[in-house]
Structure 1
Amino acid sequence: MIAIAVVSAFPLVWMVLSSLKTPAEAMQTPPVWIPATPSLDAYAKVSELISVGRSFANSALIAGITTAGILVTSLMAGYAFAKYRFRYREALFAITIATMFLPPIVTLIPLYRLVGSIGLNASLAGVIVPNLANAFGIFLMRQFIAGVPDELVEAARLDGASEFRIVFTIVAPAVAPALAALALFAFVYHWNSYLWPLTVLQGNSSQYPIVISLSRLLSYNRSAVNTGLVMAGATLAVLPPLVLFVFLQRFFVRTITASGMTGQ
């Protein structure tokens, strides 16, 4: 397990160390593993080439709002599919799951035309709105909410609790690890999303997220002199999802353990 962890972490460690190297160390052969004089000059240069603060704010807005929307819609839809009995429930659930098998590129043009028809082109709202619901999130929540005792829900109803109160004060705490895992998946995915924001925000560079803004650094990747510059940009982009994972990893592991023990 230690060997696998080292192999998995090696690219990340190399990226961070390379971002601290001087141009001479980046070009040295054989390669220098540990920089002799760590420098933050590459990070300063990245800040000069792109608007790091604005791009980070755009990414945080896109990933944060989208993740919150996915959590709410997945929790409510998962509750309906798990605890309600209504006609065509299984058929609707099967259709929802079937959308998971559609490659994103297939829905790109229809979604773009839809966003344009409601006047959200070239805006952050156009990037966010189509992703506020997620079939995987609904599936995950439905599977975990199905394990919440029906007696608990019925007791809350007998006490006069509304369905919204049941969902957010009783069901949500019971499936908190699954919600945390879903939040991690959603945030990382939409933080790293490239094609959809690029399609919607074309021509509006002031609202580009950090991943698209960093693509400007690709032209600097042709020379080893600029290796530290590219690695510094990549380190900045990966930092927020990595920090989030550190905080949510215990919930993530607990979710995997629970699903394995209960067969969900």
Structure 2
Amino acid sequence: MNKKVIKIIFEIVRYTIIIFGAFWMILPFFWLFSASLMTPQELMSDTPKWLPEKPQWNNYLQVLKRVPIFTYYKNSIIVAGSVTVLVILTSSMAGFAFAKLRFFGRKILFSFVLSTMMFPVFIFLIPVYYLMKLFGWLNSYLALIVPFAVSGYGIFLMRQFVMTIPDELLDSARLDGASQFKVYSVIILPLIKPALATLAILTFIGQWNSFLWPLIVTSTAQKFMTLPVGISRLSLAFSTAETQHLIITALVYQVVPMVILFLYLQRYYVKGFVLSGFSNL
């Protein structure tokens, strides 16, 4: 068997694995959309169905009538967008400081930042909740945004990316009289756009899908509830058999914007991980 035949067989196997993996990744999204067009009887059927006998496009209108979904959309956009901007700002500044500035306790402080990534977020829910109550921020945007303004992972990602930028480039700017802030804003930020895009995507999607914290801090204020919390109210207000298909339809409302955003920014997402320099620890 010559090398050409072996190469062809290898390519066939590789693409088969890729197609199989892509199929399993797409399958949940396909079923979610298909199930959103089914009747309650089709969803609860003993025999699983992949396609509706007659698409129920009215399900989408029923969701709009049952819950103020556009209010939830607005809240999710405000919260996810604000947190994303704050995380990008704090992470890029801290990443630049840890990577390129020399100050006392830098390594110890960075180790502390890394240590925060070791603990699950759930152990901080109670103390942070009491802080929000102490500040009088419950049932407000501040309680949804401020606790997530700084990200340990974001600082780590930015620091690793900034470390790949040559020191000579920054030193030449300083010799020309550039301040540290100008070095950061004029040189660092344009060079780390792929990493910023990656962090923005991960942060926005994480906040968009966040459920537990918004549920806790907006339990008595519907006007501040985000989309996941608002969708859960469908199952609380009505019986499961009555709302199963509507809950799935509401999930489509939640998922579609994120899929579109990811497809649009995926090139930055991939590039950010390829160039992030994780080996420079």
Once the two structures are TM-superposed, the CA of residue 36 in structure 1 deviates from its matched residue by 4.5
- Asked whether the equivalents of residues 181 and 251 of structure 1 are also in contact (C-alpha less than 8 Å), the reply is yes
| 2:124 is equivalent to residue 107 of structure 1 | yes
Query: Counterpart of 1:98?
Result: 115
Matching residue's letter, 2:84: T
Change beyond 3 A, Cα 1:105–1:28: closer
TM-score (norm 1): 0.92
| 2:176 is equivalent to residue 159 of structure 1 | yes
- Asked whether the equivalents of residues 15 and 235 of structure 1 are also in contact (C-alpha less than 8 Å), the reply is yes
Query: Counterpart of 2:143?
Result: 126
**Residue segments in structure 2 that go unaligned for 5+ positions in a row:** 1-17
Query: Counterpart of 2:29?
Result: 12
Change beyond 3 A, Cα 1:141–1:221: farther
Distance in 2 separating the partners of 1:247 and 1:41: 29
| 2:73 is equivalent to residue 73 of structure 1 | no
- Asked whether the equivalents of residues 235 and 243 of structure 2 are also in contact (C-alpha less than 8 Å), the reply is no
Matching residue's letter, 2:150: A
Query: Counterpart of 1:148?
Result: 165
Matching residue's letter, 2:153: F
Query: Counterpart of 1:137?
Result: 154
Matching residue's letter, 2:171: E
Match of 2:266 among 240, 249, 257: 249
Question: Which is worse superposed, 38-47 or 88-97?
Answer: 38-47
- Secondary structure of the 1:234 match is helix
| 2:209 is equivalent to residue 181 of structure 1 | no
Distance in 2 separating the partners of 1:242 and 1:161: 41
| Superposition pairs of residues 52-71 of structure 1, within 5 angstroms | 52-71=69-88
| Superposition pairs of residues 32-47 of structure 1, within 5 angstroms | 32-47=49-64
- Secondary structure of the 2:275 match is helix
RMSD of aligned Cα (Å): 1.9
Distance in 1 separating the partners of 2:234 and 2:191: 45
Change beyond 3 A, Cα 1:226–1:114: closer
Change beyond 3 A, Cα 1:31–1:202: closer
Query: Counterpart of 2:14?
Result: none
Distance in 2 separating the partners of 1:70 and 1:127: 14
TM-score (norm 2): 0.87
- Asked whether the equivalents of residues 73 and 227 of structure 2 are also in contact (C-alpha less than 8 Å), the reply is yes
- Asked whether the equivalents of residues 140 and 224 of structure 2 are also in contact (C-alpha less than 8 Å), the reply is yes
- Asked whether the equivalents of residues 17 and 33 of structure 1 are also in contact (C-alpha less than 8 Å), the reply is yes
Once the two structures are TM-superposed, the CA of residue 33 in structure 1 deviates from its matched residue by 2.6
Change beyond 3 A, Cα 1:103–1:34: same
Once the two structures are TM-superposed, the CA of residue 113 in structure 1 deviates from its matched residue by 1.6
Matching residue's letter, 1:175: I
- Secondary structure of the 1:92 match is helix
Match of 2:240 among 213, 222, 228: 222
Once the two structures are TM-superposed, the CA of residue 206 in structure 1 deviates from its matched residue by 1.4
- Asked whether the equivalents of residues 132 and 143 of structure 2 are also in contact (C-alpha less than 8 Å), the reply is yes
Distance in 2 separating the partners of 1:238 and 1:129: 25
Distance in 2 separating the partners of 1:259 and 1:171: 14
Matching residue's letter, 2:60: Y
Distance in 1 separating the partners of 2:279 and 2:114: 18
